Amino acid sequence: MIDLEKDCKMFILSEEHIISGFDCGNADLNDFFNYEALDYKRQMLSQTCFLQHKNSGAAVCAFSFSASSIKTANLPGSRRKKVKEYIPREKSLKSYPGILIGRLGDCNRI
C-alpha cells in the first residue's frame, strides 16, 4: 500500500502537468481524466488535481472541483434556520457560493 503523503506528489492539471494512462476501473472517469479534464479547465468549468506516484510516475488519484452553490431552500428546516442564524441579516441570501467535488477517481494498482 502506498502512502499518499510520502510516496506521491500533487499536481494541478495544466499543459505542463497532464494525466495519461489513468485507470481507476471506471471507463467514464478514465475518459474524463485522460482526455477531457484539460478542456474543462480551459473552458473554466472545473479545476483538476492529481497525485502522481514519485517512483512509477503513474497518476494514482485525481479529482475535480467546480464552482457551485448551497441553496438554503434545499436544506432541511433545522439546518436552514442554523444557516440564517450564523449569517448576518444584511447578507442573508437564497444561495451561498460553494465548491463541488465533481469527479473523484483513485487507483489501487500500484
How confident is the model over 94-103, as pLDDT tens digits?
777 888 888 8
Answer yes or no: is 76 within a domain: no
Answer yes or no: is 39 within a domain: yes
Answer yes or no: is 10 within a domain: yes
Instruction: Show the cell assigned to 57.
Output: 510516475
Closest CA to 70 of 90, 91, 47, 99: 99
Answer yes or no: is 55 within a domain: yes
Q: Please state the domain count of the chain.
A: 1
pLDDT score recorded for residue 92: 65
Per-residue pLDDT of 1-48, as tens digits, reads 788 899 999 999 999 999 988 999 999 999 999 999 999 999 999 999
pLDDT score recorded for residue 110: 54
**Sheet hosting strand 47-53, strand order edge to edge:** 8-12, 47-53, 59-71, 95-106
CATH number for the domain including 53? 3.40.630.30
Asked if 80 and 92 touch (Cβ cutoff 8 Å), the reply is: no
Answer yes or no: is 59 within a domain: yes
Q: Which residue has the higher pLDDT, 48 or 80?
A: 48
Strands 59-71 and 8-12, by their bridges, are unpaired
Q: What are phi and psi of 76, to 5 degrees?
A: -60, 155
pLDDT score recorded for residue 108: 64
Answer yes or no: is 73 within a domain: no
Per-residue pLDDT of 4-14, as tens digits, reads 899 999 999 99
Amino acid at 6: K
